[in-house]
């Protein structure tokens, strides 16, 4: 049973206590798939960022210190670090994670 309280600091929980939201059970049968998609997006961004920095690109300065996967993919493709096909796969991962974060209802791909 997943609850919001699990993920909050005690200070945030204290402020939100009166709302009644902290201990409501999350009712989303696709929650785990949502989380997997989001983890894949963040992981891809982190490893691509690391690879670009390892190759000498000043990623943090160019991309305002974010881990935005779409921006990182664009830079990597511009610089010839990724092929078009590789970039498309990473953008698919990005789009699926964004869908998982923002769409109230989405289609499972499992």
Tens digits of per-residue pLDDT, 59-110? Answer: 766 556 678 999 999 999 999 999 999 999 999 999 999 999 999 888 888 7
Residue in the block written with tokens 């992981």: 43
Q: Where are the domains of the chain?
A: 29-102
Which of 36, 90, 100, 99 lies closest to 68 in space, CA to CA? 90
- pTM of the predicted structure, to 2 decimals: 0.86
Radius of gyration of the chain (CA): 18
């Amino acid at each position: 049973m997943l609850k919001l309280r699990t993920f909050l600091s005690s200070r945030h929980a204290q402020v939100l206590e009166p709302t009644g939201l902290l201990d409501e059970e999350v009712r989303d049968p696709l929650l785990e798939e949502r989380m997997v998609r989001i983890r894949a997006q963040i992981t891809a961004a982190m490893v691509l960022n690391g690879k670009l920095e390892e190759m000498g690109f000043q990623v943090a300065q160019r991309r305002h210190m974010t881990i935005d996967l779409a921006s990182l993919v664009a830079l990597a493709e511009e610089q010839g670090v990724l092929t078009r096909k590789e970039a498309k796969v990473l953008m698919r991962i990005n789009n699926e994670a964004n869908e998982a974060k923002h769409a109230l209802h989405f289609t499972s791909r499992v």
